[in-house]
Amino acid sequence: MSNTIIKLENALFKGLSTAKGSPSVFHNPISLEIKTNERWAIIGTYKAQMMKVLASQYMPEPALSRTYPFLNKSIWPQSAIQFLEFKGALPTAHLAARYEFFKDEFDETTKKFVIGNVNNNSRIINEDLVHEVFEKLKLQGLENRWVMGLSNGQTRRARLARALVREPKLLLVDDPFLGLDPTATSVVSEVLGSLAPNPHVVLGLRYQDEIPDWITHIAVVDETGIITQGEKSQIKDQLEELKSKDLQLKQEQLSFNKEKLENIKKLFQKDGKIDYSIPLLEFNDISVAYRGQPVIENLNWKVHHGERWHVRGDNGTGKSTLLALITAEHPQSWNSKIIMNGEPRETGRHNFFDINENIGFASPELHVVFPQSLTAYEAISTGYLVSSFVPPKNLSQEKIDRINTFFKEFNLESIKHKEFRDLGISDQKLILFIRSLIRNPDLLILDEALSVMDDARIEQCKELLRHYPGTILSIGHLDSEVPDTDRYIRLLGPGKYEIGLK
């Protein structure tokens, strides 16, 4: 058997359905050889495209310029490769499914999701492998939980488990640590690092990601092709230099000058006065349980107008549940112990739409279900409506001008009429971030809203939020992906939490 996993020799690549004469994915031909004793990471602005090249999702020119020498010639490469992209979570319909309240026709247990559908094919399930994978990825005890009820970190590990039980020869994972807390990151990294040679593993990482110790080789890519490649120890300095140049260029392109800042401040002007003596939000001894198991217990918390909170806690400690109680997505939201603007929440007196009229929201779940066919402009316009993905008709000139101002000040005018599906992941997240702000809400809930964005975009969003006068509740596992906050609540488990100033 060959000691080479993948070999690219002066190869150009095009999409599988691309018309003849269309441009290549990369400007220049690519040469790369990945051997069985090497552990590679792909980094750079075009890492997603390079991962698809390695996953046999682009057509090579010449036809034999990409080969997989380690595979038996009778094996079709795509049948031996598992490619995971962590842009979002799972296909889903109703967010209440996360809280064991609503079950749609495709919801299933975690174990069934990991194993997959075996009724219509000859694939035999290796139960010992399934048990081993659940143990390695710390999914034990979750086998019978509805997969839609998993936290973001648990969902990530379940998707990885699903790939592993298919026993691929090559596993490609793009953004493996995206949105994970440090504990979950360590677990996933340790598992991925221990897999080779069954399967061999290649990671796609962002410039800002910490490179696992077990990675031995790196390739850095942009639209031209491979900028540099080699042993990690040999190109470490060059990688840092490229990272700094990329960040500096983007900051120069995206920085807000004085005129831009003044235009942005106008976006946040409001009529009327706020009574700062009344808390925006109060939780008075709130408890939530799923199937008798407590998730949040005896929580007392006050949020005042203008405060900026960092909602902390490991995956699965109840952060998403907490936010869902606020936005009335949770079936246990209708509770007089939840008080907003001095009014206890009561069924019949308050409804979902009234509650969310002054709340802006962005989250991984929203990203997953967001309609791909909307243009960037249409996507932002849906933010004027509560819980709707239908672009509103007959917007006032004031609202149109507000959308156009965001496009202009964020240098997004070139993508204004592009469909959401055709945007890069960073721009998709930015569009949803702007959508959450378009109504100038009193309360802005940002659940990992800045994760996956380019560093310069993150800094741009942070600068914008420094001029936003409302209240912010932010979830983010990396401090670099959290806007400026002045206080925190840390969920430690049922009945355990910390509240303090930063």
36 three-state secondary structure: coil
The CATH number for 258-501, chosen from 3.40.50.300, 1.10.275.10, 3.20.20.70, 3.40.50.10420, is 3.40.50.300
Q: DSSP 3-state assignment of 423?
A: coil
Smallest Cα–Cα separation from 161: which of 135, 183, 184? 135
| H-run or E-run covering 490 | strand 487-493
Per DSSP, the three-state class of 62 is coil
How is residue 337 written in tokens? 């112990």
* 265: its two tokens: 């401040």
Whether the Cβ atoms of residue 232 and residue 217 lie closer than 8 Å to each other: yes
Q: Which residues contact 237 (CB under 8 A, 6 or more apart)?
A: none
Q: List the structure tokens of 149.
A: 């009820």
Measure the CA–CA gap between 438 and 431, rounded to whole angstroms.
10
- Indicate the DSSP class of residue 34: E
Structural tokens at position 77: 């490469």
Q: Where are the domains of the chain?
A: 4-252, 258-501
SS3 content of the chain, % helix, strand, coil (to 5): 35, 25, 40
Tokens read off for 371: 């309609």
Q: Do domains 4-252 and 258-501 have the same CATH topology?
A: yes
- Each residue's pLDDT tens digit in the chain (502 positions)? 689 999 999 999 988 765 566 788 999 999 999 999 999 999 988 898 999 999 999 999 999 999 999 998 888 888 899 999 876 444 443 444 444 433 444 468 899 999 986 554 556 788 999 999 999 898 998 898 877 777 767 888 899 999 999 999 999 999 898 767 788 888 889 999 999 898 999 999 988 788 999 999 999 998 999 999 999 999 988 888 888 887 777 666 656 667 777 787 788 887 777 888 899 999 999 999 876 778 899 999 999 999 999 999 887 788 888 999 999 988 888 889 999 999 999 877 889 999 999 999 999 888 888 999 999 999 999 999 998 999 999 999 999 999 999 999 888 999 999 999 888 888 999 999 999 999 999 999 999 899 878 877 888 899 899 999 999 999 987 788 899 999 999 999 888 999 999 8
Cβ–Cβ under 8 Å, residues 75 and 167:
no
Q: What is the DSSP string of 425-436?
A: HHHHHHHHHHHH
In a 13 Å sphere around the CA of 382, the CA atoms on its Cβ side amount to 19
What does the pLDDT read at residue 388? Answer: 92
Buried b (16+ CB within 10 A) or exposed e, 337-349: ebbbeeeebeeee
Instruction: Pick left, alpha or beta for residue 138 (phi over 0 → left; psi -120 to 50 → alpha; otherwise beta).
Output: left
Q: Which CATH architecture has domain 4-252?
A: 3-Layer(aba) Sandwich (3.40)
**Count of alpha carbons within 13 Å of 141, Cβ hemisphere only?**
4
Answering whether pTM is above 0.85, one says no
Helix (H) or strand (E) holding 163: helix 152-164
